[in-house]
């Protein structure tokens, strides 16, 4: 259970609940917990607290925000922009000056923005997101929630909220690994941090645990992957979707949403479609475009999506690696037959 926030911070976030999605508010709470935990561990914390008391300020002083940002500069740009929005929201609630317009904070932010631009120009897209392999693989859903908090521009958020609402009324299916036979389970690779394994595990689990066609799968866009609001369930499907935190919209040939996959959080990490998909998005640093991408021989992520034939190729290549499996027998149909 996450630790409660101080009343002065929680009040500001609660006041904003009608303007933002549940997922966004949760990510803002996470941002403030991180900031306050960082504050508590700083040598300057007592001096900062005294300054707040003397001035009657309900929010951290600007120098604290500047130092916090500087120490978090290795986080992904999307995560940092989410933190900025969370901080601004609380300052705005108390009619305080925007900290990002103040010299010390602005200087720290300009430095971060320059760093991220240099990373992008050098070919690094911040794929590691400042987190280690275990966090990306095991805690991917929580990290993805933080990552997606960047999608909070008013116009863009309105589009995302419309998509969320549309998804409630579309035909849906829930992924399940319960019916996988022993050979199908053996075909699913163990979780690993290299991009190819991450991509292939997410791809194979979507084939194995859903009825999505090859065309459906290669057509998935990153923008159609959503974390489901925790208090929203499908009518008559509450029990099935209760443990399905990730929604994936599927589109027809004309680009219209036609159905939704609800990816479950399975108890066994190896066979969890929700966490495998979230891990791949984080590891590849995906923001838009096709969900499943081609890779260079060196393992770099391309902008182009995979083909339908690549799915069968991936299945056969994996079968060749598993002792006792006949690769010629393995196709998309064999992997999903239950």
Average pLDDT, the chain: 83
Nearest of 193, 187, 100, 83 to residue 140 by alpha carbon: 193
pLDDT attached to residue 316: 93
* pLDDT score for 273: 96
Find the range with the poorest average confidence among 12-16, 57-61, 189-193: 57-61
pLDDT in tens, 123-152: 444 444 567 888 899 988 888 877 766 554
How far apart are alpha carbons 102 and 109 in whole angstroms? 10
Q: Using alpha carbons, select from 150, 153, 164, 163 the residue that is nearest to residue 230.
A: 164
Question: Are 104 and 62 spatial neighbours (Cβ–Cβ below 8 Å)?
Answer: yes
Give the rounded percent of residues in the chain with a pLDDT score beyond 70.
82
Domains along the sequence of the chain with CATH? 7-126 (1.10.150.130), 164-336 (1.10.443.10)
Give residue 248's pLDDT: 93
> What is the rounded average pLDDT of the residues 92-105?
90
- Sign for the pseudo-dihedral over CA of 326, 328, 334, 335: positive
Q: pLDDT exceeding 90 applies to what percent of the chain?
A: 41
Angle 29-111-124 from CA coordinates, rounded to 5° = 85
Q: Is the pLDDT of residue 63 over 50?
A: yes
Specify which residues 226 forms β-bridges with. 247
SS3 326: coil
Alpha-carbon distance of 186 to 111, in angstroms, equals 47
Other Cβ atoms less than 10 A from the Cβ of 189: the count is: 18
Model pTM?
0.61
- Would you state the pLDDT for residue 231? 43
pLDDT band at 336 (very low <50, low <70, confident <90, very high): confident
- Strand partners for 262: 174, 247
pLDDT tens for 1-47 read 567 888 888 998 998 888 777 888 888 999 998 888 888 877 676 76
Res 74: pLDDT: 82
């Amino acid at each position: 259970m996450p630790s409660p926030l101080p009343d002065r911070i929680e009040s500001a976030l609660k006041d904003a609940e009608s303007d933002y999605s549940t997922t966004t508010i949760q990510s803002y709470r996470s941002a403030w917990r991180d900031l306050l935990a960082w504050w508590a561990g700083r040598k300057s914390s007592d001096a900062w607290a005294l300054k707040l008391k003397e001035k009657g300020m309900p929010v951290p002083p600007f120098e604290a925000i500047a130092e916090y940002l500087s120490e978090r500069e290795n986080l992904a740009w999307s995560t940092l922009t989410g933190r900025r929005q969370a901080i601004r929201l609380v300052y705005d609630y108390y009619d305080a000056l925007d900290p990002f317009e103040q010299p010390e904070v602005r200087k720290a932010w300009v430095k971060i923005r320059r760093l991220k631009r240099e990373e992008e120009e050098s070919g690094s897209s911040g794929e590691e997101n400042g987190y280690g392999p275990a966090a990306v693989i095991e805690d991917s859903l929580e990290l993805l929630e933080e990552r997606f908090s960047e999608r909070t521009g008013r116009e863009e958020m309105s589009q995302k909220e419309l998509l969320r609402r549309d998804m409630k009324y579309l035909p849906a299916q829930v992924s399940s690994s319960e019916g996988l036979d022993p050979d199908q389970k053996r075909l699913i690779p163990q979780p690993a941090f290299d991009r190819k394994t991450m991509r292939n595990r997410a791809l194979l689990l979507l084939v194995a645990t859903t009825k999505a066609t090859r065309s459906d799968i290669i057509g998935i866009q990153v923008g159609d992957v959503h974390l489901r609001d925790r208090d929203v369930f499908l009518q008559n499907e509450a029990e099935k979707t209760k443990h399905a935190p990730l929604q994936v919209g599927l589109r027809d040939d004309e680009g219209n949403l036609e159905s939704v996959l609800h990816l479950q959080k399975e108890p066994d990490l190896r066979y969890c479609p929700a966490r495998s998909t979230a891990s791949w998005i984080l590891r590849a640093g995906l923001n838009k475009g096709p969900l499943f991408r081609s890779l260079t021989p060196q393992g770099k992520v391309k902008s182009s999506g995979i083909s339908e034939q690549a799915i069968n190729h991936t299945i056969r290549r994996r079968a060749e690696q598993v002792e006792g499996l006949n690769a010629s027998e393995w196709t998309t149909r064999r992997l999903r037959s239950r």
